[in-house]
Structure 1
Amino acid sequence: MLSIFTQFASWLSYSVLQLEPGSRLADGVHFFIEDTSKIYALLFGLIYFIALARASLNVERVRDYLQGKNRFLGYILGAIFGSVTPFCSCSSIPLFMGFVSARIPLGVTMAFLLTSPLINEVAIVLLGSLLGFKFMLAYITIGLLLGIAGGILIDALRAERWLQPFLANQYSAGAEAVSQVSAEHKTLTLKDRHQFAKQETMMIITRIWKWVIIGVGIGAFIHGFIPQAWISENLGAGQWWSVPVASLIAIPMYTNATAIVPIMETLLTKGVPLGTTLAFCMSAVAASLPEFMMLKQVMTYRLLFIIFSYLFLAFTVVGWLFNYVVF
C-alpha cells in the first residue's frame, strides 16, 4: 500500500503538474515532493513531542553534573547529552563555549560537540525507516563511540592549550547563554510546556527548513538526473579509495543529519555502497567547512587540524567497515 506521502507526490506530479511518469524530471520532482512532505511531517510531530519531554531539562544542572563526574564517565555522559540535543554542528558551538567557560574538561566538551550533529532524533527515526532497526542501532553506537574516542584523544593531547586565549569574553557569553537556557527550563505547567514545545518547534523548523529543502533538492537531482551507471561506475563498485574521496567531497556541504537522509537514500538507490554513502553523509554533517570556520573563533589551526584529521580518519574507517565487514 502506497503511503499518503507517495500518493500526494503522485497526484501533484502527474495530475497537477502534468509531468510524464517515468521521465527524469518527473522522477526528480516526485522524489522531492514525497520526501519533503514526509520529512516536514516528521519534523513538526517529533520535534514538538521531544521538546515537550525536554521542557523541564535544566542545562546548567546537566553541566554541573558533568563537571563533577569521573573523567571516563564524563565522556560517556557528554556524548549522550550531545545525542539528545537537537542541534546541528554550528548551533552546538555556543553550548560548547559555555562548557569550556565552566571549566569542564575539554575532552568531555568535545564528546558533546562531536556527537551532537551526528545523532539527531528525527534523523534516527528516518534512518530506521530507511535501513531498518539494526542499522539505526549501529549508527547510534558509532556516533557515540566517535564522540567518546574524540574526547579521550583531545584530553590525551592536552588540547586546551590550543584554544584561542583571547576569547574569554565569548566564553563568558556562552556561559550566560547556557544559564539563560536553563532558566527557561524550570518546573513548568502543562500549558507552559506546550508553549515551550511550540516555540522550540518553530525555532528549530525556522533554522533548518531551508537545509531540508536543499538536502532533498540535491537528493532529487541525483535521483532524477544523474545516471545510475555513472554513479555505479565511479562510486558504486566499492573501490577502497571511494570511501575517503566521498568523505572529502562532502566537506564543502553544510547540512544536518535530518537533511542528509534523503541524499543518503538517493545514493543507496543509485547503487553506492552503504559504507561509502555513510562516510559521505557523516562528513557532510560533522566535518563541514562552515562548522570549522565557526570553530576558528575558539580554536587554533592546530586543534582544528587535529579534529579534522580525526574525523576524516574515523569516517573513512567506518566506511570501510560497513563496506567490507558489517553489511
Structure 2
Amino acid sequence: MLNLTAESHRLMLNDGNSIPVIGLGTYADPAKTPKGACAESVKIAIDVGYRHIDGAFVYHNEHEVGQAIREKIAEGKVKREDIFYCGKLWNTCHPPELVKPTLEKTLKTLQLDYVDLYIIELPMAFKPGDVIYPLDENGKWLYHETDLCATWEALEACKEAGLTKSIGVSNFNRRQLEMILNKPDLKYKPVSNQIECHPYFTQPKLLEFCRQHDIVLVGYSPLGTSRDESWVNVSSPPLLDDPVLNSIGEKYNKTAAQVALRFSIQRGVVVIPKSFNPERIRENFQIFDFALTDKEMKSIEALNKNIRYVELLMWKDHPEYPFHEEY
C-alpha cells in the first residue's frame, strides 16, 4: 500500500481487473443539491487525478456523472478505460429478471457502454416496481422475498454479457457473503464489499474475512458522515474533530480528513469520500505524499468505537437486515 502514487493507485481485484484506491462519492440529497453540481464536481475530480467515481441509480444524478465523464473523454483528458465507474442495483430490482434491464437503464442514463463495477447495494429486497421506497397505505415498508444467490447469478450474466467488468456487493455481512461464496456453480465471486468503514468503525473482523477471500473492502463514509439526524446515528462525535487524527495531521501538515483517508488506504481499504466542494475534492486526493507509521496506524485503530453512523434502522425488521450480526 505504501507505493501508491497520485498517478498510479490501483489495487488488483480477484477477477484480474483493478480498482483505484480513492474515488469520488456522488451521493447528495437531490432536494438540496443545485442542478449541475454533481457534473461539475466529477469534472473537477477527474482534473485533480481521481479515476474512480462511485454512483448509484438511487442518487438521481447518474445522468450528470455520465455527462461529466463523457466531456472529459471528449476533451482528451482521459480515455474511457482510465475511468472506473461503480453503479448499484437498488432494492426494488433484485428479482433476477429485472437485473439486466436495470443495468441497461443505468448505462442508457450514463450513455456509457459498460460500468466497471456493478454491486448489489443492499442485501434487502423491496417490492419491485417504479416506487424506490415502497410503502403500504399505513406507511409500512413493502418488502420482497430475497434470494441473494439468484440475484447474484443475474449479476454474473451481466458480467458475461460485457455490461459490467466486475461484480460485487455492498452492506453484506459475513453470513451473506458466505451464502454467495458457497453457492453451487458459483462463476465469479464478489470482487468487493462496500461498507461503512473509518477510524471510529474499523470493521476489523469483516476486513479480515474479506482478506481471506480476496474481496476488497470499499469504505463509504470514510470521513464519518453528515450529521442529518433523520438518518444518521449522531451518538458518536464528528470524526474529523478527533484529537488523535488532528495531532497526527499537524505532524505531517495534513488535515484530520487526509489522515483518516490515508489510514484506510494503508489498511488496503478503498475510500470513496463524497464532496461537491472543489477545495475538499482536491484536499481529499492529497494522500499519496505521506505515510503513517505502524505506531500511528495502531493509535488510529484504537479509536474504534464499534458504532455505526449509518444504521438503516427503518429496515431492521427485514429478514436480510445485515447489521444484527456482529459482522
TM-score if structure 1 supplies the norm length? Answer: 0.24
Instruction: Report the structure number with the largest CA radius of gyration.
Output: 1
Q: Which has the higher helix share?
A: 1
Q: Which has the higher strand share?
A: 2
